[in-house]
Amino acid sequence: MTINTEWETVIGLEIHTQLSTKTKIFSGASTTYGAEPNTQACIISLGMPGVLPVLNEDAVRKAVIFGMAIEAEIAAHSVFARKNYFYPDLPKGYQISQFELPIVGKGFLDIEVDGEIKRIGVTRAHLEEDAGKSLHENFHGATGIDLNRAGTPLLEIVSEPDMRSAKEAVAYMRKLHELVRYLGICDGNMQEGSFRCDANVSVRPKGQEEFGTRAEIKNINSFKFVEKAINHEVERQIELIENGGRVVQETRLYDSVKDETRSMRSKEEANDYRYFPDPDLLPVFVSEELKAEIKAALPELPEAKKLRFKTDYKLNDESATILTSSRDLADYFESVVKISGCESAICANWITGELSAALNRADLEIATSPINAERFAGLVARIADDTISGKIGKQVFEFLWDGSESADEIIEKQGLKQITDTGAIEAIIDTILAANEKQAEQYRGGNEKMFGFFVGQVMKAMQGKGNPAEINKILKAKLA
Amino acid sequence: MLSVIEVKEIAHLARLGIEDENVSAYADDLNGILMLMAQMSELNTDGVKAMAHPMDQVQRLRLDNVTENNQRDYFQTIAPQTEDGLYLVPKVIE
């Protein structure tokens, strides 16, 4: 089914990023992922009576870093509020969040879709605590509660309803994902729930100014599902309206197995959170000094880095985009260029080619690459100075990947050094020409394809170690 | 003005059990508070800065260091039911 062109989709995203602090937002309990249930749930995480929250400085700092990166206003005073609802994984009966006065105000993020840049507004970003986890399986009719996650600091980033397609929504989400990892404020691990997305989706007839009624799709935990969930929801709403129905404001859950969304809460009263300022917490003050300090320490942002890579390293747009897609990858590239002293183009080619492919196959990130920048630089340097050919380079790469030796050690040990000695190459070529007179005649008779045959034979005889340029030159002369 | 039905809904949201015979008395009390609010909002507050907290101070921050140890066994001594380190509660279905 195709989406009817008379309709326009309007999407806003709420993204919860888990801030990568060592401890929780309001207590000194650890936030390490994967601990035994409830071993990181202190009395504050458990919501015991009489305990008081004390705000984590690093959570505030990371929120400010984000605000600066999207050029948002940072509130000098922001206020924590209680969002009240009852659920067993929220033992206090309220979540501490920010409501009227969030720490980060209006900012923006530029996304690129089909070669066009579009500015997406960020309405706000606020600090809040995460809830615990409910496990519904295997407890003989009971629900198991793990409060390790309760109190983990989150920065909820709310966008303006500026996106007009699922594709734009995914581009925005990817951009934000890249940014928070760049800034080092969130590890971006979607499987572990460090980066979660809720989408507000509505449709309206094209040209209509006022928004349609929106549905909120909850907890979509992959880029692929965001696109599918939104497209599905858009189709559902259009079909509903075209059949004379009406979209109701509700929360829907995306089922990735059935590829559909379904209503989650029927009682709308459940959405009355009765926010009020939390009397346990004073207003959060962000001083001009702190802002200046954070601004000075802000890392180079993806856009600026990409531009610099294009000018300083003379990279094309594609390479610059790939190499700046994560800070780790960009740092790796810069180290390889520096250590190898080679031209940036050859470094970029080998990183975006051989290395990226191998990392993909092994499902690894650059940070966990078995070949560090130093060893990789050693390989690139030997290719650049013609010690080995590109083809042999791929073999050396395999050894680097599987072992711990340097490229030079591998080349020496495996005897992979390229033969540039013209005398040695000539001798081999003579033998091959003598053994293949018929083919030589064919070539001389005009069958130019035969040249490739000879290059192949020579390379084979030299076990790939012959310098290709040298072989070509000598072969041409001998076959003339 | 809050109706009797709204008072019942608010009580339900806060999970407060109130007796039917007391509902109208609660409605009167709450409406009294709301009327006071309405009266206050008629005052001219131009140029008066909003008060974020009665204490004229800002939030103190703590360093991001782990200070809490695992005390699960101790905390779970008062839990009615636990299993595999989890607190068990009546089944919740979303």
- Report how far residue A148's alpha carbon sits from residue A152's, in angstroms, rounded to the nearest whole number: 8
- Report how far residue A42's alpha carbon sits from residue A23's, in angstroms, rounded to the nearest whole number: 11
Would you state the pLDDT for residue A1?
45
> Residue B61 pairs with which residues in a beta bridge?
A55
Q: Is A156 in contact with A125 (CB distance < 8 Å)?
A: yes
Residues in chain A with CB shorter than 8 Å from the CB of B56 are none
Interface test with B, best of A38, A96, A218 (most B CBs within 10 A): A38
Instruction: Answer whether residue B33 is part of any domain.
Output: yes
Interface test with B, best of A268, A282, A287, A288 (most B CBs within 10 A): A282
Is the minimum CB–CB distance between A183 and chain B shorter than 8 Å? no
Instruction: Answer whether residue B11 is part of any domain.
Output: yes
Asked if the Cβ–Cβ distance from B53 to A84 is below 8 Å, we say no
* CB-closest option in A30, A77, A93 to B66: A30
Q: Is A118 in contact with A110 (CB distance < 8 Å)?
A: yes
ipTM field: 0.86
Q: How many CB atoms lie within 10 A of CB A57?
A: 15
- Report how far residue A70's alpha carbon sits from residue A176's, in angstroms, rounded to the nearest whole number: 10
Instruction: Answer whether residue B89 is part of any domain.
Output: no
Distance of CA A473 to the CA centre of its chain: 46
Asked if the Cβ–Cβ distance from A139 to B83 is below 8 Å, we say yes
Query: Strand order in A94-98's β-sheet?
Result: A94-98, A80-84, A276-277
Q: Which domain holds residue B30?
A: 4-41
Asked if the Cβ–Cβ distance from A77 to B58 is below 8 Å, we say yes
Instruction: Answer whether residue B9 is part of any domain.
Output: yes
Instruction: Answer whether residue B84 is part of any domain.
Output: no
- Report how far residue B25's alpha carbon sits from residue A382's, in angstroms, rounded to the nearest whole number: 88
Find residues 285-304 of chain A whose CB sits inside 8 Å of chain B.
285
Instruction: Answer whether residue B94 is part of any domain.
Output: no
Asked if the Cβ–Cβ distance from B85 to A139 is below 8 Å, we say no
Instruction: Answer whether residue B26 is part of any domain.
Output: yes
Dihedral (CA of A239, A245, A246, A248) sign: negative
Instruction: Answer whether residue B18 is part of any domain.
Output: yes
Q: What's the structural domain count of chain B? A: 1
Asked if the Cβ–Cβ distance from A57 to B64 is below 8 Å, we say yes
* CB-closest option in A23, A84, A142 to B90: A142
Q: Is the pTM for the entire model greater than 0.90?
A: no
Is the minimum CB–CB distance between A52 and chain B shorter than 8 Å? no
Tens digit of pLDDT per residue, chain A (480 long)?
Answer: 455 458 999 999 999 999 999 999 999 999 999 999 999 999 999 999 999 999 999 999 999 999 999 999 999 999 999 999 888 999 999 999 999 999 999 999 999 999 899 999 999 999 999 999 999 877 788 999 999 999 999 999 999 999 999 999 999 999 999 999 999 999 999 989 999 999 999 999 998 999 999 999 987 888 889 999 999 999 999 999 999 899 988 889 888 888 888 887 654 555 688 899 999 999 999 999 999 999 999 999 888 999 999 999 999 999 999 999 888 999 999 999 999 999 999 999 999 999 999 999 998 889 899 999 999 999 999 999 888 888 889 999 999 999 999 999 998 888 888 777 788 888 888 888 888 888 888 888 888 888 888 888 888 888 877 888 888 888 888 887
A363 three-state secondary structure: coil
Residues in chain A with CB shorter than 8 Å from the CB of B53 are 79, 277, 279, 282-283
